[in-house]
Amino acid sequence: MRNDSEKPETLHGVGIRTVGAYLPEREVKNTDLEDVLLTRDDWIRENIGVEVRRMAAEDEWTSDLGAHALRDACARAGIDPAEVDLVVCGTYTPDNMAPPTAMLIIEKAGATGATGFDVNSGACPGGVFALDVGARYIASGAYRRVAVVMADVSTRTLDWKDVGPAVIFGDGAACYLLERCAPGTGIGTTLLRSDPSGYRTVWVPRQKRKRRDGTPRTSGFGDNFAQLDGAAVRSFAVGRVPDFVRELLAAAGHSTSDIDLFALHQANLHIVHGILEELGVPRDRTVTNVERYGNTSGASVPLVLREALDLGRLSPGDLVVLAAFGSGLSMGATVVRWCGPEDFAATAGTAGGVR
């Protein structure tokens, strides 16, 4: 089917060597929003599952968050950022319309000499869509080390009088560091799917808004404001994502019982639990962080992986499903055979003519 992809057999795989992360220092609790949004802490917990979210400082933008995440990934891998060959930035909140935010991330992270470009795959789905883009550059042999940086300052798109999106989103960044790995390991079958009929379910349109006194109301991106239909998003996620994951597993020759960890987009705690319930998967086979970070858009799936690693929930050889979904409406999912150091060592020195 168009837009579905399965990695062809090659002499090497594409593995996630490390996952970098960065969360802004500022925490915004539900109680901090009660006066601003005329909502309640208990309502947000009961309906969304968020208790606290992170918000970028006034002088922090997407490139700042992304550079922190890239440096963190490199530190975990024991390499210098200058050893990264390509930076793909997945974002819907670029610092500027042009040039790409990836170029600022390269500059700020010290990834000297890297090539960079942005991928806007609709915010939340980017956790898989942008990963697939980066993986293809490794698979093709064009680059030996690719950083896929997922970063957004979603809170800058908010109208603080619109409760729906304002109680959900938080700011954050994560970085997949991709390298060649042993055949049969790493990123496997990947499916991507879009349904334009849901285009206006979750979106950031240009829309002029005014305060009661008639003066313009703007977001951090001017006349661009995040909007969502919460009921429609839940219906889409719980109603369609489980079958999409089953389709992925069938294509990969697996069943839900084979999967050690489900890394799901953190749209809403109850949506995550609803998807697992529909799949017949116990909650102990996932990790959630939406309670503490909010919905961090495209960074949420790699942030789940990072937390799973830190908690000792991921080991070499484990099978992991990554599933991201949201605006578009779009879905992306992939199966990963998690790599250990020996899987990357097995391909050392085979980069050929790449950088």
What pLDDT is attached to residue 35? 85
Q: What is the mean pLDDT of residues 170-196?
A: 98
Q: Is residue 28 within 8 Å of residue 189, measured between CB atoms?
A: no
Dump pLDDT digits (tens) for 265-308.
Answer: 999 999 999 999 999 999 999 999 999 999 999 999 999 999 99
Give residue 11's pLDDT band: very low, low, confident or very high (50, 70, 90).
confident
Residue/partner pairs of 207-210 with CB below 8 Å, 24 or more apart: 209/159
All structural domains of the chain: 1-355 (3.40.47.10)
Dump pLDDT digits (tens) for 87-107.
Answer: 999 999 999 999 999 999 999
- For the record, the structure tokens of 336 come out as 């990963």
Q: What is the mean pLDDT of residues 45-49?
A: 96
Inform me whether the pLDDT recorded for 355 exceeds 70. no
Give me the percent of the chain exceeding a pLDDT of 70: 95
What pLDDT is attached to residue 346? 75
Give residue 153's pLDDT band: very low, low, confident or very high (50, 70, 90).
very high
Helix (H) or strand (E) holding 236: helix 230-252
**Residue matched to tokens 């609803």:** 274
264 contacts: CB under 8 Å, gap ≥ 6 = 272, 275, 276, 286, 301, 304, 323
Q: Is residue 29 within 8 Å of residue 52, measured between CB atoms?
A: yes
The torsion defined by the Cα of 102, 104, 106 and 108, in degrees rounded to 10, comes to: -140
**Catalytic positions:** 124, 265, 295
What pLDDT is attached to residue 10? 58
Q: What is the mean pLDDT of residues 135-146?
A: 97
Dump pLDDT digits (tens) for 210-262.
Answer: 999 999 999 999 999 999 999 999 999 999 999 999 999 999 999 999 999 99
Per the prediction, the chain carries an average pLDDT of 94
The Cα angle at residue 287 between residues 285 and 289, in degrees rounded to 5: 160
Q: What residues pair up with 172 in beta bridges, in sequence order?
A: 152
Predicted TM-score of the model (pTM): 0.94
Give residue 1's pLDDT band: very low, low, confident or very high (50, 70, 90).
very low
